[in-house]
């Protein structure tokens, strides 16, 4: 039995004019396989002269014709925990042999000349050329939007993974801030965070860190000094799902100006939160936060942003256009749905105090929202000497 809503996928494929789907991205093959991702290629794709190319094949209305084209080493995975797809091909080492097996399966189920949905941004050129040459009469359709919409509303088990990811990232950041002291460098702080996240069962993905008045978030030998603020923004992966949050630290005395500045950020965050609920337009969340930001005394150097998240850090709902990531805010006029997950972030680039930011994760509910990983939203203290 397929681990996703086949009726929803069938409807989305019908609307997009797709007969059969070829999913080739790690995140979408993971979703279609019920959360599975092959550990050998979890953090890289390259092998020899080629790369790993998983392919999940799904025919509209006929889940019984589904197949998974895998790497040869995944045969052992199938023996331990069989994949749900009726057909399984663990015979590929690179892109071309994976594409060959996909072509063979499409022909077997009579879809060699069908309208085939692909992921253009996640389909290597050599594999696409092979599909084009071998599947005479086929029409290729961009299925990116179909798969994004399929993943938009999270199942309870997905929400639990996102909650866990957010809590573990927050706990790791709190421990890291409490460990760092005067003289600790950015590079050392980032490495400590990596250890804290890994020890909690997360796969560390990134840390964007600032110290003092600098707005530079890259690793360096810059050291934390007494009175400096620290901004720590990190993504940690828990079983495929992303925890992405930002928290603030200060070393030494916490003055009234810093309390006030973070308070301005918090007001903007709360304005956005107040509009989050199932049925509300996504654009209303943005408009409310921006109206409060516009009236703020820190508006000149402060920005607001919100985006959907789940298996990847920017997914449905897409709420803003080219701000800062280059995609269209196609969901601004659409209602939020219970089970969607939104990241809400307000960033201040203060000219003298530095980078001051909060980023929070909200799961949309019927009557509002539930926040994941809500610890440490105020000023957190670094270690004393």
- Please say if the pLDDT value at position 12 is more than 80: yes
Average per-residue pLDDT for the chain: 97
The rounded Cα 14 to chain-centroid distance in angstroms is 27
Average pLDDT score over residue span 258-282? 98
Q: What is the spatial distance between Cα 85 and Cα 67, in angstroms, rounded to a whole number? A: 5
Average pLDDT score over residue span 330-355? 98
Q: What is the pLDDT of residue 43?
A: 87
- Please say if the pLDDT value at position 296 is more than 90: yes
Q: Is the backbone peptide bond immediately before 268 cis, with ω within 30 degrees of 0?
A: no
Q: Give the SS3 label for residue 205.
A: strand
Q: What is the spatial distance between Cα 327 and Cα 274, in angstroms, rounded to a whole number? A: 25
Share of the chain above pLDDT 70, in %: 100
pLDDT digits (tens, 9 = 90+) for 165-191: 999 999 999 999 999 999 999 999 999
Q: What is the pLDDT of residue 47?
A: 95
- Please say if the pLDDT value at position 142 is more than 80: yes
Query: What b-and-e string marks burial along 165-204, b requiring 16 or more CB atoms within 10 Å of the CB?
Result: bbbbbbbbbbbbbebbebebbbebbbebbbebbeebebbb
Structure tokens given for 316: 């449905």
**No. of H helices and E strands in the chain?**
10, 16
Average pLDDT score over residue span 294-314? 97
Q: What is the pLDDT of residue 65?
A: 98
Q: What is the spatial distance between Cα 94 and Cα 158, in angstroms, rounded to a whole number? A: 30
Average pLDDT score over residue span 348-363? 98
The answer to whether 202 and 165 are in contact (CB under 8 A) is yes
Average pLDDT score over residue span 250-266? 97
Average pLDDT score over residue span 220-239? 97
- Please say if the pLDDT value at position 385 is more than 90: no
Structure tokens given for 89: 């091909």
User: How many residues in total does the chain contain?
Assistant: 385
Beta bridge partners of 233: 208, 246
The answer to whether 290 and 275 are in contact (CB under 8 A) is no
Distances (CA, A) of 208 to 182, 197, 337: 19, 14, 30
Q: What is the spatial distance between Cα 244 and Cα 360, in angstroms, rounded to a whole number? A: 8
DSSP 104-171: HHHHHTT-TTSEEEE-GGGS-HHHHHHHHHHSTT-EEEE-HHHHHHHTSSPPHHHHHHHHHHHHHHHH
pLDDT digits (tens, 9 = 90+) for 193-220: 999 999 999 999 999 999 999 999 999 9
- In the chain, the domains with their CATH numbers are 6-150 (3.40.350.10), 156-381 (3.90.230.10)
Find, among 205, 200, 249, the residue nearest to 353 by Cα.
249
Runs of H (alpha helix) within 180-281: 186-199, 256-273
The answer to whether 264 and 296 are in contact (CB under 8 A) is yes
The answer to whether 173 and 197 are in contact (CB under 8 A) is no
Distances (CA, A) of 235 to 254, 312, 317: 27, 10, 19
Q: What is the pLDDT of residue 35?
A: 96
Specify the pTM.
0.96
Find, among 352, 349, 357, 353, the residue nearest to 301 by Cα.
349
pLDDT digits (tens, 9 = 90+) for 41-87: 998 999 999 999 999 999 999 999 999 999 999 999 999 999 999 99
């Amino acid at each position: 039995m397929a681990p996703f809503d086949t009726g929803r996928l069938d409807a989305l494929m019908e609307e997009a004019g797709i007969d059969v789907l070829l999913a080739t991205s790690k995140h979408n093959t993971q979703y279609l396989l019920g959360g599975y991702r092959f550990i050998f290629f979890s953090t890289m794709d390259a092998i020899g002269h080629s790369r790993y190319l998983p392919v999940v094949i799904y025919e509209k209305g006929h889940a019984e014709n589904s197949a998974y084209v895998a790497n040869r080493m995944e045969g052992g995975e199938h023996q331990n925990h069989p994949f749900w797809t009726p057909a399984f091909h663990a015979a590929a080492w690179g892109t071309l042999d994976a594409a060959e097996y996909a072509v063979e399966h499409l022909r077997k189920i009579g879809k060699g000349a069908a309208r085939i949905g692909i992921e253009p941004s996640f389909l290597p050129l050599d594999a696409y050329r092979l599909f084009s040459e071998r599947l005479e009469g086929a029409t290729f359709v961009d299925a990116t939007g179909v798969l994004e919409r399929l993943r938009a509303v999270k199942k309870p088990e997905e929400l639990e993974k996102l909650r866990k990811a957010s809590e573990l990232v927050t706990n790791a950041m709190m421990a890291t801030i409490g460990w760092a002291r005067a003289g600790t460098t950015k590079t050392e702080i980032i490495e400590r965070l990596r250890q804290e996240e890994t020890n909690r069962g997360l796969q560390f993905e990134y840390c964007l860190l600032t110290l003092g008045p600098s707005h530079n978030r890259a690793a360096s030998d810059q050291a934390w000094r007494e009175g400096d603020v620290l901004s720590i923004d990190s993504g940690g992966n828990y079983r495929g799902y992303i925890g992405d949050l930002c928290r603030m630290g200060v070393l030494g005395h916490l003055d009234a100006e810093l309390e006030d500045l973070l308070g301005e950020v918090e007001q903007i965050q709360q304005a956005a939160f107040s509009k989050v609920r199932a049925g509300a337009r996504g654009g209303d969340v943005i408009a409310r936060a921006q109206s409060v930001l516009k009236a703020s005394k820190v508006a000149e150097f402060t920005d607001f942003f919100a985006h959907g998240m789940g298996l990847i850090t920017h997914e449905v709902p897409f709420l803003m256009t080219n701000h800062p990531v280059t995609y269209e805010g196609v969901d601004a006029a659409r209602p939020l749905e219970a089970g969607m997950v939104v990241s809400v972030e307000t960033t201040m680039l203060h000219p003298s105090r530095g980078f001051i930011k909060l980023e929070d994760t909200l799961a949309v509910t019927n009557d509002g929202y539930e926040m994941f990983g809500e610890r440490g939203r105020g000023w957190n203290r670094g270690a004393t000497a």
